[in-house]
Amino acid sequence: MKNHFTVQIYTGEIHSAPQPLDIPALISKFEQIYQKAHLDCVMIGENPDAEIDELADYLRQRGTDVYLWLSVFSGHRGLSALVNPQNKPVRQDYDPDDEKFVFGCPGNPENIRYIKQIFEKYYQRRKYDGIFLDKIRFPGFSCGTEPVFTCFCPHCRANYPVSDRIQIGNGENPLGITGYGNLKYTLADKNLHDLFAYKAEAVTASLISLIAYFREKKYKIGLDLFAPFLSYFVGQDYAALAPYADFIKPMFYRKTYAPAGLPFEIDKYANAFGGSLQEIEKRRLYLYKMLQTSAIDMSFINREIKAMRSHIGTAKLYSGIEVNYHEKIAPVKASYIKENIRMTENVDGFALSWDLCGTPDENLKAALDAGE
Ligand SMILES: [Zn+2]
């Protein structure tokens, strides 16, 4: 299924002015796609004032589903915060150069009620075939360890009362990882294991409630997920979540140096526990050892996909690859895109990420040529 694609169109943040869309340019890109491939779905978001009706009608006439691209636990002002052991909001400051993703607590049912209100207030008036749920997780290691070893809000304390006994090391294996299989790590320390298990349960319970709400309104569901070997750290349990979705998009961004990008997240994990450059490098190598690979290459990605297949039920699997170009955070060239598409096995298609508006023509062409 190398010639089945989904694409995303970014229309700006929810609370700011919409980014102007060049509709004729987008339609010209879509015509190129339809000539060579199947376009199964387009995720558009998330500014509610963006003028997308003409585009949505055009896509539906061609048999392409139009999904609302909706952030859940990050990107909204009214989410209640993650809380640290001192009952203070967790700081999620990033380097000034990084994208700012500040997360609310996935374990707090108020936050799910809030997202439903946001949907009703801003999006319900438009016609969508489905909802693509993004940022369905706890924060990763981007801001150090504190945002990961959460949450201590009253809702989370009620469900995970031992979290203040968490002990983390600072050596080459700070989490006490003893192995990796079936999309999960095994950890030596029971309290730490229980914390990550709780985080996955919190995300899953909240999403089941949110998905039930959308299913009642007859929407299809897509899920944006971290690569499995990173998903464990942010509370995403593929086996628990995927069966609720029509499709999942694991983000296998091997070039992206921003949240969800594989080199970025591995670096942030290795750096989060401090130490000298040598110690940080040892930590990275130890993680590779646990993953039984020497690099995050196509053979490792295919192993991840193979492991995923037995856990995701009937959900379709679109491998998320970058096609945008950014000199610093995503230096993506045609050869990389072709390698991804030609070498990936056992998928239903590819999610060309993360914004068709900013995708260079040669990158789109590379994806379509490789998919033929
Ligand atoms: Zn909480």
In sequence order, what DSSP letters do the residues of 241-270 get, joined into one string? Answer: HGGG-SEEEEE--SS--STT-HHHHHHHHH
Name the residue with higher pLDDT: 110 or 94: 110
Contact of 188 with 231, CB cutoff 8 Å? no
Omega prior to 151 cis, within 30 of 0: yes
Distance 88 CA to ligand 1 centre (A): 11
Tell me the two tokens of residue 108: 């707090």
Distance 339 CA to ligand 1 centre (A): 41
Question: For residue 174, is it within any domain?
Answer: no
Distance 80 CA to ligand 1 centre (A): 8
Distance 106 CA to ligand 1 centre (A): 7
Looking at the predicted structure, is the pLDDT value of residue 165 above 80? Answer: no
The per-residue pLDDT for range 291-305, each reduced to its tens digit, is: 999 999 999 999 999
Q: How confident is the model at residue 101 (pLDDT cuts 50, 70, 90)?
A: confident
Q: How confident is the model at residue 112 (pLDDT cuts 50, 70, 90)?
A: very high
Distance 84 CA to ligand 1 centre (A): 9
What is the share, in percent, of the chain residues with pLDDT greater than 90?
89
Q: What's the pLDDT score for residue 325? A: 95
Distance 86 CA to ligand 1 centre (A): 13
Question: For residue 287, is it within any domain?
Answer: no
Distance 159 CA to ligand 1 centre (A): 9
Looking at the predicted structure, is the pLDDT value of residue 97 above 70? Answer: no
The per-residue pLDDT for range 217-257, each reduced to its tens digit, is: 999 999 999 999 999 999 999 999 999 999 999 999 999 99
Question: For residue 18, is it within any domain?
Answer: yes
- Mean pLDDT over the full length of the chain: 94
Q: Over the range 242-263, which residues count as b (16 or more CB within 10 Å of their CB) and which as e?
A: bebbbbbbbbbbbbbbbbbbbe
Question: For residue 318, is it within any domain?
Answer: yes
Name the residue with higher pLDDT: 97 or 107: 107
The number of domains in the chain is: 1
Q: What's the pLDDT score for residue 372? A: 81
pTM, to two decimals: 0.97
Q: How confident is the model at residue 170 (pLDDT cuts 50, 70, 90)?
A: confident
Distance 160 CA to ligand 1 centre (A): 10
Question: For residue 169, is it within any domain?
Answer: no
CATH at 139 = 3.20.20.80
Q: What's the pLDDT score for residue 371? A: 87
138 Cβ neighbours under 8 A, 6+ residues apart: 73, 82, 103, 106, 147, 148, 150, 151, 199, 203, 234, 235
Q: What's the pLDDT score for residue 99? A: 57
Q: How many other C-beta atoms are found inside a 10 Å radius of the C-beta of residue 368?
A: 19
Question: For residue 172, is it within any domain?
Answer: no
The per-residue pLDDT for range 76-90, each reduced to its tens digit, is: 989 999 999 889 999
Instruction: Determine the Cα–Cα distance for residues 268 and 289; give it in Å rounded to an integer.
Output: 17
Q: Could you tell me the residue range of the domain that residue 30 belongs to?
A: 4-162+190-275+296-371
Distance 277 CA to ligand 1 centre (A): 33
Question: For residue 33, is it within any domain?
Answer: yes
Contact of 316 with 349, CB cutoff 8 Å? yes
Give the residues across from 70 on adjacent strands: 133
Q: What's the pLDDT score for residue 315? A: 98
Q: How confident is the model at residue 168 (pLDDT cuts 50, 70, 90)?
A: confident
Q: How confident is the model at residue 98 (pLDDT cuts 50, 70, 90)?
A: low
When pLDDT is averaged across residues 45-65 and rounded to a whole number, the result is: 96
Distance 156 CA to ligand 1 centre (A): 4
Q: What's the pLDDT score for residue 27? A: 97
Name the residue with higher pLDDT: 61 or 144: 61
Question: For residue 183, is it within any domain?
Answer: no
Q: What's the pLDDT score for residue 209? A: 98
The per-residue pLDDT for range 305-336, each reduced to its tens digit, is: 999 999 999 999 999 999 999 999 999 999 99
Looking at the predicted structure, is the pLDDT value of residue 96 above 60? Answer: no
**Which of 198, 205, 84 is closest to 149 using CA atoms?**
84
The per-residue pLDDT for range 172-212, each reduced to its tens digit, is: 999 999 999 999 999 999 999 999 999 999 999 999 999 99
